[in-house]
Amino acid sequence: MSLSVAVAGASGYAGGELLRLLADHPEFTVTTVTAFSNAGQPLIALQPHLRSLSHLTLVETSAENLAGHDVVFLALPHGKSGEITAALPEGTLVIDCGADHRLTDPDAWARFYGGEYYGAWTYGLPELIHADGSRHRDQIAGATRIAVPGCNVTAISLGLAPGIQAGVLQADDIVAVLAVGPSGAGKALKTNLLAAEILGSASAYGVGGTHRHTPEITQNLIVAGGSGVSVSFTPMLVPMSRGILATSTAKLAPGATAAQVRDAFEAAYGQEPFVHLLPAGEFPRTADTVGANTALIGLAVDETAGRVVTVTAIDNLVKGTAGAAIQSANIALGLPETTGLSTNGVAP
């Protein structure tokens, strides 16, 4: 079969990555690409690396232009997706890569985002383990409205959820520091993202619990069985175009051993196609995930501090956004989950 696909926000980084992956997907055919200020321009003028899609021209982002497709992917700033999705046909599979439908708590939305709350959709993190041991992919199958997680959220949630679910980690004192590439901030021109500003430098942002991904991380760890969840996470902007390296720590549960911690993660991810636990003593590099839909996790127990340390690497534009969207679409449509997605990165 060939399913018609529209991508909204096709001129941005996330939209471009969606198109790169969709171009080689055997079951999807991209027929419509949309943008706001760039409408009317050839796609190739904004995404010159997408040679196989050079026949496409950007049209205005509107419900009218998006309707009539089998699958619609939205790569829009928060507040923009919700304005459009209500007007799309119920039978259309809509995957939102933005924030508008991630949070289940309206108060959390009001605090961290503001503006109209558009309601929560099925959450697009298939590997998220639930307190009862099930996986979130069970909820994605057959869904027609899916919200893709935030990229930082994916790295931290996958790096901690198995230990919380197994009861070997405590959720009341979680600290995470992330090295993040600037592509996660989007393609809009911003002084702090200029090469002259970031090359040879690292800087923190969203400090002190202000980052908008904070309530989403908490939401996921509660789903995994965490009680009294407290998350302090600080992202650091570093000079790499892509990637997230999340170092997350949590208190070791009383009586839990290092062997039990590793067993929990091996049980959770041993059969997962895209989330890989590295051998003991090994830790991932962001370079090993570039272009791949993988999350690579290294694990250690700091017995002196009584804490577990996980180091998770992802490509923020693939497993952190576009890859997760396509993976979720595959599940929702009953296709093999790995269709059109690679575990092989690009090196050097």
Closest-CA residue to 184 (of 11, 78, 319, 316): 316
Residue 192 burial (10 A CB sphere; 0-12, 13-18, 19+): exposed
Q: Are the C-beta atoms of 120 and 102 separated by less than 8 Å?
A: yes
* Alpha-carbon torsion, ordered 151, 310, 253, 212, to 10 deg: -20
Beta bridge partners, 244, equal: 180, 314
Closest-CA residue to 221 (of 172, 257, 292): 172
What are the two backbone dihedrals, phi and then psi, of residue 259, each rounded to the nearest 5 degrees? Answer: -65, -40
Kindly give the pairing relationship between strand 307-314 and strand 244-251.
Answer: antiparallel
Beta bridge partners, 72, equal: 6, 94
Return d(Cα 344, Cα 150) in angstroms, integer: 22
Closest-CA residue to 119 (of 82, 164, 88, 162): 82
Which entry of 7, 33, 59, 151 is annotated as an active-site residue? 151
Residue 87 burial (10 A CB sphere; 0-12, 13-18, 19+): exposed
Q: Are the C-beta atoms of 116 and 211 separated by less than 8 Å?
A: no
Q: Is 151 marked active-site? A: yes
What are the two backbone dihedrals, phi and then psi, of residue 155, each rounded to the nearest 5 degrees? Answer: -65, -45
- Residue whose tokens read 């942002």: 205
Half-sphere exposure of 82 (CA within 13 A, CB side): 17
Compute how many other C-beta atoms are within 10 angstroms of the C-beta atom of residue 13: 23
DSSP sequence for 261-287: HHHHHHHHHTT-SSEEEPPTT----GG
Question: Which residues are catalytic, by number?
Answer: 151
